[in-house]
Amino acid sequence: MSFLFRLPRIYTRTKLSELRTTTTTIYVATIRGTMLVVVHPCGLCLDTFYEIEQLRAHKPVCSQRNFCVACKKDYPTSLELRTHLSEAHGSCQSCKFCDRHYAAQDKLDEHYTYQHSFCDDCKLPFSTTEELWKHGMECPDHFDCPLCSLRFPTRGRLTKHFDEKHCYCEDCNRVFPTTESLKEHYAQSVRHAYCQPCDEAFRSQDTFRTHLKGEHQDRYCDICDQLFGSAYALKEHHVQSPRHAYCQYCDRHFRTHELLRQHNQVDHYLCEICKKVLHSPLALKEHYVQSPAHAYCQRCNMHFASGAALFDHYRTMHYFCDICEKVLPTGGGLHEHRRQKHRDLYCFNCKLVFQTPGDLQTHLYSRHQITHNLYVRRPDDTQQPREVRIGRAVYVL
């Protein structure tokens, strides 16, 4: 056992740190001078030696002595020593583990510290160093390093010690033999925030993402939280991944597909139905005409979301035959088409279309008092029937 002190041989008993192992304990005292001497205390008589060989030669002799530390006097038996301590010094403090006796409690504490295993904070002695080490690990009032047994006042100081002196993973509560093995653990474990290119570990995922956005912005996808080997690999990821709203024409990616759609509407020629972007207005028109997936009106240069919407457009905006769904160029053409192709369903006079020929016959008889589909002139008609255009509608008068 050994410790450091300042010459002359007066040292503070306040330990700055303690290094406990299974064989020895090193006490580091407060250093106030420049000359340091390593001394080796005897745990029985509390005397100190400058050489470890001197201590080893002293121990066999000292173990047979009944020595009063206060008087520096030896007694033949342990009983005589205890009697002397009680009568001369008024107190006899005995060791729980061996036949050693002292006049004062502080001397007994030194004996516990040097000879046995003693917790200074809890004032508890232990028979072996292993029991003291176990106490330091389990006691909630202690923050002992399980590797070198240094004791720290707070858990934060202990954690800092682990980070600086040992290869310690705080998240997994594991210690690794080398720095390389710790780095390999960080790289392979999915629980850790570890930047492989920078060879740097981070305490939280948030700080890790901040690092990636700042240092690797050209190859980091913040949407997928994924780092790529190059900027080109990131671009390919944006193009191929369905999670990304990416404009291949502008080499830009957007947070949402709605923002991409708005961008394409403003800056490109976007097909709303199949979400395809064309390079020119003419190419977009050709796409509408040729693609069977689109409902497109060639007359108005408009496309519609469905065939039903296109059908309604034809009925309201063009000369559309409700029976065969044919579009005619003029109102007169529509009237002539119905008269020739659908005379069994079309009333020439009212320009009404009926579901069945029977419905048409009922209408002709009740409305016009005729049994055949003919044009009937009213009694006050003085002119031949003529077509009148009102807007896009054509009426026969």
Q: What is the CATH number of the domain that holds 294?
A: 3.30.160
- Its domain, for residue 287, covers 268-315
pLDDT of residue 45: 80
Q: How many domains does the chain have?
A: 3
The DSSP output letter for 388 is: E
Residue 51 in domain: yes
Q: Which residues pair with 253 in a beta bridge?
A: 246
Any alpha helices (H) in 279-343, and if so which ranges? 281-290, 307-317, 331-341
Residue 91 in domain: yes
pLDDT of residue 346: 74
Any alpha helices (H) in 11-104, and if so which ranges? 52-62, 78-84
Do residues 93 and 60 both lie within one domain?
yes
Do residues 281 and 369 both lie within one domain?
no
Do residues 46 and 123 both lie within one domain?
yes
State which of 315, 333, 351 marks the end of a domain.
Answer: 315
Strand pairing category for 2-6 and 25-28? parallel
Do residues 378 and 281 both lie within one domain?
no
Give me 167's structure tokens.
């290869």
Q: Tokens 């050209």 belong to which residue?
A: 218
Cβ neighbours of 188 (radius 10 Å): 9
Do residues 344 and 386 both lie within one domain?
yes
Do residues 28 and 127 both lie within one domain?
yes
Give me 135's structure tokens.
């106490």
Residue 179 in domain: no
State which of 133, 151, 169 marks the end of a domain.
Answer: 151
Residues of the chain predicted below pLDDT 50: 1-37, 375-397
Do residues 379 and 276 both lie within one domain?
no
**What does the alpha-carbon distance between residue 113 and residue 204 come to, in Å, rounded to a whole number?**
42
The DSSP output letter for 31 is: P
Do residues 129 and 62 both lie within one domain?
yes
State which of 151, 174, 190 marks the end of a domain.
Answer: 151
> Is residue 314 within 8 Å of 320, Cβ to Cβ?
yes
State the Cα angle at 30 between 14 and 59, rounded to 5°.
75
pLDDT of residue 370: 72
Residue 244 in domain: no
Q: Which of 101, 118, 98, 126 is nearest to 13 (CA)?
A: 118
